[in-house]
Amino acid sequence: MPPLWATDKKILLGVSGGIAAYKTAELVRAWIKQGYQVETILTDAAARLVSPLTLSTLAKRRAWRDCDLLSDEHGWKIPHITLSEWADVLVVAPCTANALRAAAAGDSSTLLGATLLACKSPQLFFPAMNSNMWANPATKANARTLEERGHRVIDPDSGPLACGYEGAGRLPSTEAILDETWFSLCPIRDFAGKKVLVTAGPTHEYIDPVRFISNPSTGKMGYAIASEARYRGAEVVLVSGPAALRPPSGVRLVSVTSAEEMKEACLSESPGSDVIVMAAAVGDYRARARSVQKIKRAASRSLTLELEQNDDIARAIGERKAGGQILAGFAAETENIRENALRKLDAKNLDLVVANDVSGAETGFASDSNSVEIYLAPALGQPPKRISGDKWEVASGILDIISNVTE
Ligand code: CTP
């Protein structure tokens, strides 16, 4: 589901004639599923690679073609003007070298080119082509020209290309295109110029090479906070334990396994951070002695593991907190939620604590919805706030509070 501010938007997708055009069917489907209105414009070359009927069926609207630029059929409703006024964002994917050239040159001889020229909404280009074509200074200069005009050109992914080459030139994944489109649509940039460090996910504390102690955290909450902070303009570092989630686009991911690794990464990233949100479910204990070999099932019917406590990362950061730095922690509780949360707020020198009742199926680990109570440090002089909703509502609510106290 999209972030709060990205619902009910109108997306205009321009498709140019690269082989990756076939992937736009999935992209249109994803947007429609998320409740967006989608219009598509295909260049003539694109229409040879993906059927306009496919896109129009998925978008539930006609697919516009170059021949619509000057067509009697639409009368006074000039398509490139009507479409350019309608769109909240214009996405060109895939964007061929030629489409990039045409956009940079202000070439209005196609419906897509004329619409790009007339459109005042954010424009987002996803170049996809042979790696030599992408590396060519002519292409790079066109990309730069568009960026200098305030548009965004997203670097292609690297990997095997349809032309047989290996290198940069692939169209990014559908998820990455959704993510970048949300970034363009985000109406607030209140975290611009700020570095935000977020921890997320569980940790794995290995007892032998094939077994570990962990918890059911999925990392969804921390990933949503990292994404939302990035949409709102922050430079984001996400220190994540093992999570089966796609790293958000535009966020620097530091992958760790154990609590000790997480601590090391956090202590190295925290000094330059303006905001630190500790959303990870850090394992409190690790095996005192990790077996080098797999522990064999012995004749004995019981096994005693000796555990030792991991360091408290939030507390370590709280002790080193610089003036002006905001430190937020979570308190995952099953009882005495308020008391326990306030105790953690104080003991870890947090500025705010997000108290999370993890006892119920609705709001516990791995759940998509959440209901949290946020307590602020007494020095900030603000009453607790309750936020209920999906991960985006909670993530943006937490960042709203942080944004308010840092103003
Ligand atoms: N935390 C941490 N390092 C740890 C344990 C917890 O940084 N070794 C952080 C969590 O990311 C969270 C906050 O501290 O932001 C509280 O975590 P929680 O698991 O609720 O509490 P604990 O401090 O582990 O205390 P307890 O297990 O007794 O509830």
What was the pLDDT predicted at 358? Answer: 83
Q: Of 185, 213, 241, which residue sits at a domain end? A: 185
Total residues found in the chain within this entry: 407
Q: DSSP assignment, residue 281?
A: B
| Residue 128 vs residues 11, 163, 261, 405: alpha-carbon distances, Å | 20, 12, 37, 42
Give the H or E element holding residue 236.
strand 235-240
Q: Tell me which residues have their CB closer than 6 angstroms to ligand 1.
A: 199, 259, 278, 280, 282, 284, 310, 312-314, 329-332, 344
**Both 65 and 123 in a single domain?**
yes
pLDDT tens sequence across 174-194? 999 999 999 999 999 999 999
190 within a domain of the structure (yes/no)? no
**Both 263 and 373 in a single domain?**
yes
What was the pLDDT predicted at 317? Answer: 98
The answer on pLDDT for 324 being more than 70 is yes
Quickly state the pLDDT bin for 382 (edges 50, 70, 90).
confident
pLDDT tens sequence across 299-320? 678 889 999 999 999 999 999 9
What was the pLDDT predicted at 4? Answer: 84
Report which of residues 3 and 114 the model is more confident about. Answer: 114
**Both 373 and 234 in a single domain?**
yes
**What is the position in ligand 1's atom list of the atom closest to the CA of 310?**
8
pLDDT tens sequence across 15-43? 999 999 999 999 999 999 999 999 999 99
* Over residues 374-383, mean pLDDT: 91
Residue whose CA is at the smallest distance from ligand 1 atom 24:
284
**Both 104 and 63 in a single domain?**
yes
Phi-psi region of 365 (alpha: psi -120 to 50; beta: other; left: phi over 0): beta
What is d(CA 331, CA 227) in angstroms, rounded to the nearest whole number? 21
Per the structure, how many domains does the chain have?
2
Asked if 87 contacts 39 with a C-beta cutoff of 8 angstroms, the reply is yes
Asked if 286 contacts 258 with a C-beta cutoff of 8 angstroms, the reply is yes
Q: Of 156, 185, 214, which residue sits at a domain end? A: 185
**What is the position in ligand 1's atom list of the atom closest to the CA of 353?**
15
Give the H or E element holding residue 357.
strand 352-357
pLDDT tens sequence across 206-215? 999 999 999 9
Distance 312 CA to ligand 1 centre (A): 7
Q: Which two tokens stand for residue 374?
A: 């946020």
Q: With pLDDT > 70 as the criterion, what percentage of the chain qualifies?
A: 97
Report which of residues 359 and 18 the model is more confident about. Answer: 18
Distance 242 CA to ligand 1 centre (A): 17
Distance 341 CA to ligand 1 centre (A): 10
What is d(CA 270, CA 320) in angstroms, rounded to the nearest whole number? 9
- What torsion, rounded to 10 degrees, do the Cα atoms 385, 386, 390, 394 define? 20
**Both 108 and 148 in a single domain?**
yes
The answer on pLDDT for 75 being more than 70 is no
Q: Which two tokens stand for residue 158?
A: 């690297």
Which of 95, 119, 163, 266 is catalytic? The answer is 163
How many CB atoms neighbour CB 298 within 10 A? Answer: 8
**Both 149 and 229 in a single domain?**
no
**Both 254 and 345 in a single domain?**
yes
315 within a domain of the structure (yes/no)? yes
pLDDT tens sequence across 49-67? 999 999 999 999 999 998 8
Q: Of 162, 185, 208, which residue sits at a domain end? A: 185
How many CB atoms neighbour CB 271 within 10 A? Answer: 11
**Both 207 and 176 in a single domain?**
no
**Both 134 and 220 in a single domain?**
no
The answer on pLDDT for 366 being more than 70 is no
The answer on pLDDT for 368 being more than 80 is no
67 is catalytic: no
- What torsion, rounded to 10 degrees, do the Cα atoms 319, 322, 325, 327 define? 0
**What is the span of the domain harbouring residue 91?**
4-185
**What is the position in ligand 1's atom list of the atom closest to the CA of 330?**
15
What was the pLDDT predicted at 204? Answer: 98
State the amino acid at position 145 in one-letter form: T
**Both 81 and 123 in a single domain?**
yes
The answer on pLDDT for 367 being more than 80 is no
Quickly state the pLDDT bin for 136 (edges 50, 70, 90).
very high
Distance 282 CA to ligand 1 centre (A): 6
pLDDT tens sequence across 197-230? 999 999 999 999 999 999 999 999 999 999 999 9
How many Cα atoms occupy the beta-carbon half-sphere of 317 within 13 Å?
Answer: 30
**Both 298 and 170 in a single domain?**
no
What was the pLDDT predicted at 102? Answer: 97
Distance 279 CA to ligand 1 centre (A): 9
Lowest mean pLDDT among 268-277, 283-292, 343-352, 357-366: 357-366
What is the best residue among 278, 309, 320 to mutate for testing ligand 1's pocket, by most ligand atoms within 8 Å of CB?
278
**What is the position in ligand 1's atom list of the atom closest to the CA of 317?**
7
What is d(CA 314, CA 349) in angstroms, rounded to the nearest whole number? 8
The answer on pLDDT for 170 being more than 60 is yes
Quickly state the pLDDT bin for 363 (edges 50, 70, 90).
low
Here the CATH number for the domain that contains residue 219 is 3.40.50.10300
**Both 27 and 151 in a single domain?**
yes
Here the CATH number for the domain that contains residue 104 is 3.40.50.1950
